[in-house]
């Protein structure tokens, strides 16, 4: 008599339909299946970035991943070849085009043979925290000083809006589009009494808490958007209670530079400025994402902020 241990495939009959739980395996011996959890991660194109590291760690943990970015995935990425059956990437805007975003998500879900989204990681956004300084031009002698100042203000407003759209609005939009694919609450159970089966994780910044001093550091756009993610977190966490847990991570100095191609190489002084004795790595953030994505490990955690900065924000500084 055969036992389940001897079977090569496991099948479950649901409403008269036979569903295979196991399909083709990838290089790591893990398959994309009906029972597999899926994560959507934005801002994943750069191989040295936080988003790419998040994809890698989640895939290592057995999840399927759909990566979204305005730019194509770098050719040097190993994810498509290492995880051919569990990873898909799509190029699309995540801040202003919900129709295309939905279409890209649906096509990736269909390719993977999955119907639900279990994890959303909103990492996309402008990474340069400094707004460009807009000088008052003097090319038109007929323009008054007041008109020049107004022109400068309009230019700064345009830059400010870009941060809000790319770093904050995108997180709201992606979550709204994905939520229709979240696993539903258990049948017959009041949503507020149901165990949330989805996890939303926003990637903010310690610049949501503090800014550099001086007129040469214009960080209003970046800081506003990253601080907005904190408010979005506790608001979504309450409004989606029973459907999803929502948390936010605030990374400090994370080394995302490509040092092999001319990127900045942190000095010993840079590392020593941190209480941990080193600058952060993208995988430091990614492992926390994996923890917050896991219902068994973090099922009682929602609406919370997690700082990953090597102790810098808690280090007292005197002049």
* 294: number of Cβ within 10 Å: 15
> Which member of 163, 181, 222, 264 is catalytic?
222
Place of tokens 């100042």: 149
Closest CA to 260 of 42, 47, 88: 47
Which two tokens mark 291? 């923890």
Which residues make Cβ contacts (< 8 Å) with residue 169, sequence separation at least 6?
95, 96
Q: Where are the alpha helices (DSSP H) in the chain?
A: 50-60, 79-82, 98-112, 145-163, 170-178, 220-239, 268-272, 282-293, 295-298
Beta bridge partners of 12: 19
Q: Is 11 a catalytic residue?
A: no
Phi-psi region of 16 (alpha: psi -120 to 50; beta: other; left: phi over 0): left
Return the active site residues: 222
């Amino acid at each position: 008599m055969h036992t389940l241990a001897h079977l090569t495939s496991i099948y479950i009959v649901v409403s008269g339909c036979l569903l295979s739980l196991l399909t083709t395996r990838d290089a790591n011996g893990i398959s994309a299946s009906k029972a597999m959890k899926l994560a959507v991660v934005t801002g994943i194109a750069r191989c040295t970035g936080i988003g790419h590291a998040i994809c890698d760690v989640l895939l290592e943990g057995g999840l399927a991943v759909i990566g979204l970015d305005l730019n194509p995935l770098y050719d040097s990425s190993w994810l498509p070849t290492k995880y051919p059956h569990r990873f898909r990437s799509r190029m699309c805007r995540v801040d202003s085009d919900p129709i295309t975003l939905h279409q890209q998500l649906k096509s990736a879900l269909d390719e993977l043979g999955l119907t639900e989204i279990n994890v959303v990681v909103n990492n996309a956004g402008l990474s340069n925290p400094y707004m460009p300084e807009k000088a008052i031009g003097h090319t038109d002698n007929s323009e008054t000083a007041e008109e020049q100042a107004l022109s400068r203000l309009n230019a700064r407003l345009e830059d400010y809006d870009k941060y809000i759209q790319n770093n904050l609005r995108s997180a709201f939009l992606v979550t709204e589009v994905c939520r229709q694919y979240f696993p539903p609450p258990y049948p017959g159970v009041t949503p507020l009494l149901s165990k949330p089966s989805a996890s939303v994780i926003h990637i903010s910044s310690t610049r949501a808490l503090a800014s550099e001093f001086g007129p040469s550091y214009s960080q209003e756009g970046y800081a506003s958007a990253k601080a907005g993610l904190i408010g979005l977190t506790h608001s979504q966490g309450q409004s989606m209670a029973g459907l999803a847990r929502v948390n936010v991570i605030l990374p400090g100095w994370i080394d995302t530079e490509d040092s092999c191609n001319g990127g900045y190489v942190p000095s010993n002084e840079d590392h020593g400025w941190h209480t941990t004795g080193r600058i952060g790595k993208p995988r430091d953030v990614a492992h926390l994402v994996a923890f917050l994505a896991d219902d068994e490990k973090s099922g009682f955690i929602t609406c919370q902020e997690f700082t990953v900065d090597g102790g810098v924000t808690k280090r007292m500084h005197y002049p």
